[in-house]
Amino acid sequence: MPGQQLLSAQQVLLTTLIVKLAVVATVATMLARYRRFRHILIFERRDWRDRLVFVLFFGIPLAAGVISRLLLNYKAADLTLEGALLAGLIAGPYAGATVGVLVGLPPIFNGEFAALPFAVGCGFAGGGLRELLPKEAIWHFSPFVFTGIPGRAWKMLRGLRGDWQVVLLLAPITLELLRQVLGARWSQRLFYLSPDPLSPESFWTLPIVLLATVLGVAIPIKIWNTARIEHRLEEQEKLLLAAKIEALASQINPHFLFNTLTSISSLIRTQPDTARVLINKLSGLLRRLMRSTDHFVTLREELESIDEYLDIEAIRFGPQLRIVKQIAPETLDVIVPSMILQPLVENSIKHGLARKTGEGRITIRAVRGDGHAIIEVLDDGLGMTVDRLERALGGGIGLTNVNERLRTIYGANCHLILTSEQGRGTCARLEIPELMLPERVPA
C-alpha cells in the first residue's frame, strides 16, 4: 500500500543501533589518527592541559552528534551515555563530567531537563571506575567480552573474587537500564532508544539495546588500545634500530683502535718519537669519539674525524701518502652515519697502498645527484681480484659493518659498492638518500 511503513518500529530501532555503532567506530578511528590525541591515550598520567585537549577532541564531536539528533532527528548520532562514560574511564571523573556537560546542555533547550544530570552522572561513574580499577584492566575491555562470560563467572564463583571485566561490563548495562527507567518515567525529559512494549518482538529488543550500549563503550577502547599498542611497537622498533646501529658502531671502533695500537707498537723501538706523536694523535681522536653521542653527523664533521685519522696514517707512511679531497660544498651539510668513512679509508690504506712501492694516493669525493649524496673513497693501489673483492664484504670487520649499518638504516636498496681493477686501485662507493635523512639518535 502507498502509505504503508516499510520498516516496523523494531526494525527501525535495530537499524538505528547498527548505525550508532558505526558512528562510534568512525569517531574513535578519526580521533586515533591525531598525534596529540594518541599521546594522551598512551600516557596514564595527564596534566590539566592534556585533559582539556581530550575533552575538546572528544566532547565537541559528541555534542555535535546530540545537536544533529535534536535538529535532524538523527538518533544514531546521540552518544550521550557512551561518550560521557568513556571520557570518565579514559581521562578521569572531571573530564567525564565535563564531556557530560557538553553533551547534556543542548537537550535542555529542547525541554530534556534530565539529560544534563544524567550525562554528568555517567561521566562521574566512568571516572569512579577509573579510580577503582587497574588502568590496564580498562584497556583490556573488549567488544568480545560476552564470549568469556561463562568462564569468568565460574572463576569468580570458584575463587570468590571479583573480575574487573565483569565490572566494566555491568557499568554500561546498569546505566542503560537506568536511562530506560528514567526515560519511561519522564519520556519528554530524557532521550533514549526505547523498545515498543506492545510489539510481539519487544522481548529481544531490550537485550539488543543493552548490547549496543556495551559495544558503544568497548569498540572505542579496542580501537584506541590498538593505536597504543602500535605506538609502543614503533617506539620499540626505533630503540632496537638505535641499539643495532650502536652495536655495529661499537664493533668498528675497537677494530680501528686495535690496528692503530699495532702500528704504534711496531714503532716504539725503532722510532720512539714517531710512536709518541702517534699516541698523542690517537688520544685526541679517541677524546673526540668519546665526546660524540650521535649516531649521525654531517659530512663536514665526518671529514674532520677522517682528518684526525689521516694525521695518524700520514706519520706512519710519511710523504708517500697523498690525500686528495674533491668535496662539493653542497654536500657538507648532508647527514651521514658517524664513523662510516674511516673503515673505507683504512681499507684503502691497509689493502691498497700498504704493499705498494712508491707514492700512494687516496681520493675522497662527494657529490649530490638524483636525490642522493654520492660519496666515494678511491685509491691507486694494487687493486683486488674478483675473489678478494667478494671476500672483502663478507669476511672483514670494517667493511662488513659499514655495509650492515647502511642496510639497517636505509634499507636493502642502500649498500656499499666495491669495484676494483688489479694494478689500478679500488673504489668504495656509498649512495645515501637525501630524502630519507635520519634524525640524530643519541647513544
* Weakest-pLDDT range from 65-69, 143-147, 231-235, 389-393: 143-147
Give the fold, CATH level 3, of 268-433. Answer: Heat Shock Protein 90 (3.30.565)
- Torsion angle defined by CA atoms of residues 15, 21, 26 and 31, in that order, rounded to the nearest 10 degrees: 150
Give how far Cα 42 sits from Cα of 28, 59, 82, 87, 237, Å: 15, 19, 21, 15, 17
pLDDT band at 432 (very low <50, low <70, confident <90, very high): confident
Q: Check residue 442 and give its pLDDT.
A: 43
Domain with CATH 3.30.565.10 in the chain: 268-433
pLDDT at residue 42 above 70?
yes
Residue 104's pLDDT is: 94
Q: Are the C-beta atoms of residues 416 and 400 closer than 8 Å to each other?
A: no
What is the pTM (predicted TM-score) of this model?
0.59
Residue 340: which of 424, 269, 407, 434 has the closest Cα? Answer: 407
**Cα–Cα dist 353/380, whole Å:** 7
3-state secondary structure of 173: helix
Least confident range of 182-186, 232-236, 363-367:
232-236
Residue 92 gets the label, from left (phi > 0), alpha (psi -120 to 50) or beta, of left
Kindly tell me if the per-residue pLDDT of 86 is higher than 70: yes
Distances (CA, A) of 132 to 88, 89, 92, 126: 12, 10, 11, 10
